[in-house]
Amino acid sequence: MSKKVFVSTFPFCRTSPVALDLLVSNGFTVTVNPLGRKMKPNEVAEAAKNFDTLIAGTEELTPLIESTNILKFVSRVGVGLDSVPLEICKEKGISVAYTPDAVSPAVSELAVSLIVDTMRRVTYADREIRNGEWTRPYGERIGGSTIGILGFGRIGKRVASHLLGYMPKEILVCDLIDQTESIRVLNEVSSNLHQVNCKLGKNWGHSTSKQVDLNSLLEMSDAITIHVPLTAETKNLINFKNMSLMKSSSVLINTARGGIVNENDLYKVLKENLISAAAMDVFEEEPYKGPLRDLENVILTQHMGSCSNDCREDMEREAAENVVGFFGGGKWEKVV
């Protein structure tokens, strides 16, 4: 009897059929989210109640996991696990997998592009033209600025490597883990890049990196980009009190998870111009319909950090490979 897979994530196989073909060719019966949007928790619970396997996005899975007696395996398309009740899965013997590597290139590139956009006021200028205005707004460069990275895992490290080419004055890292060795490598790469530039007759200086605590990161950075998971400890981690520590000229970027930045507090901070601008790709409730839409100094995108064609294909394929590996006794990316 073939195993039944329900795919709750949206979109799935939008531009490539690779993941779906992999499942079908290995004997799985696949049903894909029919709603054409992100499913609500009760919708996932109802739709997936008779399935052996779930391929999930960021949908909240607690109602399904609490009620199911059939589900054996959850394969996350992506890296975040805040929507998966891991303790209940453990109690019920439901295995969980994820795709931690495939997402990093796309998210890190979006984060850097949003740093450039907010610092140089690109989207703001676009809005002005559409409104018949032309003020040619001034902005700041990454080169010569101090960039703060909150969370120095796979994505945070990749952001840092991208930033080196812009030659920021300093890269500040805030992480629970001692990142001394990673920062040593980053400084070595920066020094080598500086030597290459000098040989080309361009003495542009080089970036230095160091690890700091959260308050120092907030106080010293010209731009802060967030790359931590959403946990009980990081919920509302960035709030009115600590955003008030930031420079009035600074920008805040969140491509990690909604809920890490308190959205109501961010609205107040931006409304009062306590910081220059923000860019939010993730929200507590998606699709987002909140008051940040009324502000000009914030860029809002649609949880699209992973939405490059290649990375999305890789994530979906790896999620499907995890399913095949789990039921076939092969390799799959276990969640510990």
Name the residues annotated as catalytic: 257, 286, 303
Burial 23-35 (b: 16+ CB within 10 A, else e): beebebebebbee
Per DSSP, which regions of the chain are E strands?
4-7, 29-32, 53-56, 73-76, 95-97, 146-150, 170-174, 208-211, 223-226, 251-254, 277-280, 298-300
Write the CA distances from 293 to 263, 275, 283, 300, integer angstroms.
Answer: 11, 17, 12, 8
Burial 257-276 (b: 16+ CB within 10 A, else e): bbbbbbbebbbebbeeebbb
Distance in angstroms (rounded) separating the CA atoms of residues 239 and 225 = 15
Distance in angstroms (rounded) separating the CA atoms of residues 277 and 234 = 22
Angle at 295 between CA 290 and CA 298, to 5 degrees: 90
Side-chain-side CA neighbours of 49 within 13 Å: the count stands at 9
Torsion of CA 261, 263, 266, 272, to 10 degrees: -170
Closest CA to 98 of 136, 130, 155, 56: 56
Distance of alpha carbon 46 from its chain centroid, rounded?
28
Helix, strand or coil for residue 70?
Answer: coil
Burial 145-155 (b: 16+ CB within 10 A, else e): bbbbbbbbbbb
